[in-house]
Copies of this chain bind each other. A is one copy, B any other.
């Protein structure tokens, strides 16, 4: 991403940057410090949606909208609802949609301030109707509290792991997605068991893809994709290597994914 001069924003918008993604094909307005700044995680998550996708995607925990907008940027007829609990972050998502550089995308996106962990009628009342989506992507606040000690309230809110986090997020995804609709989730390797358990009985045909910083290093992220109501077994796809074995040059495949030119699962 490339920082650029801020767009015209409401005078009370907190200190922010405007960053280019997909080689300038869309822009993100996000807090300059604190909060959860978007980057490669959001691009990888968005890349889990097939390039041929043309339905409605819910971006759970959308933050400033990076993953949802990345889906729109690659899938020219897809639509997205950016679902974010924190009003401050949802305001950044709205600012992103208002940015002139996103004018070609913004009529396909809306922002919804809602808690994705709400259940039943509360969830529907919040604007997340059952079976209303063809795909759910989610980037849950997966950094456990013990990993970071930061006084920043926004960042803490985005990063605190709660018991049952994956259970509640995936339960909601199963409710709002249509039968055979998709789910993609990005998380840390140690959260794999919680994710697979929460998917049990809800999602099948699961695919696991590990993301390694280099070919000889342990994975730092996992992306799990699955289909609602499917019964097929877990498959482990070839991993993504972010960088080549030596040096800091990005791997060719990861660069394509970062720039919205390839899908993560090759479809």
Contact = CB atoms under 8 A, between A and B. Distances in A.
Contact of A238 (B215, B222, B237): B215
A183 to B, nearest CB: 16
A212 interface: yes
A189 B238 CA distance: 12
Interface string A226-244: 0000000111111100000
Q: Tell me how many chains of this kind the complex includes.
A: 2
Interface residues of A, number: 23
Interface string A198-216: 0010000000101010011
Nearest to A266: B216
Contacts of A236: 189, 192, 210, 212, 218-219, 222
Interface in A171-218: 189-190, 192-193, 196-197, 200, 208, 210, 212, 215-218
A238 B239 contact: yes
A212 B189 contact: no
Nearest to A219: B236
Contacts of A234: 189-190, 192-193
